[in-house]
Chain A
Amino acid sequence: DVKVTQSSRYLVKRTGEKVFLECVQDMDHENMFWYRQDPGLGLRLIYFSYDVKMKEKGDIPEGYSVSREKKERFSLILESASTNQTSMYLCASRRGGRRTGGTEAFFGQGTRLTVV
Chain B
Amino acid sequence: KQEVTQIPAALSVPEGENLVLNCSFTDSAIYNLQWFRQDPGKGLTSLLLIQSSQREQTSGRLNASLDKSSGRSTLYIAASQPGDSATYLCAVRGPSYGKLTFGQGTILTVHP
| Assembly CA distance A42 to B87 (angstroms) | 12
Contact status B102-A42, CB under 8 Å: yes
| Assembly CA distance A42 to B105 (angstroms) | 8
| Assembly CA distance A90 to B36 (angstroms) | 13
Interface segment, A13-21, A67-75, A79-87, A93-101? A93-101
Contacts of B36 in A (CB 8 A): 107
Contact status A58-B99, CB under 8 Å: yes
Contact status A56-B32, CB under 8 Å: no
Q: Total number of A-B contacts with CB less than 8 angstroms?
A: 64
The reply on B86 being an interface residue by CB < 8 A is no
B70 to chain A, nearest CB (A): 20
Contacts of B49 in A (CB 8 A): 104
B34 to chain A, nearest CB (A): 6
Please tell me which one of the listed residues B34, B43, B98 contacts residue A109 in the complex, with CB atoms under 8 A apart. B43
Contact status A105-B97, CB under 8 Å: no
Please tell me which one of the listed residues A6, A40, A45 contacts residue B99 in the complex, with CB atoms under 8 A apart. A45
Nearest 6 interchain pairs by C-beta: A101-B31, A107-B44, A109-B43, A43-B102, A110-B43, A104-B49
Kindly list 4 other residue pairs between chains A and B, CB separation below 8 angstroms, not including A45-B100, A107-B44. Answer: A58-B99, A105-B34, A107-B36, A109-B43
Interface residues of B (CB under 8 A from A): 31-32, 34, 36, 41-46, 49, 51-52, 89, 91, 93, 95, 97-100, 102-105
Interface residues of A (CB under 8 A from B): 4, 6, 31, 33, 40, 42-43, 45, 48, 50, 56, 58, 90, 92, 94, 96, 98-99, 101-102, 104-110, 112
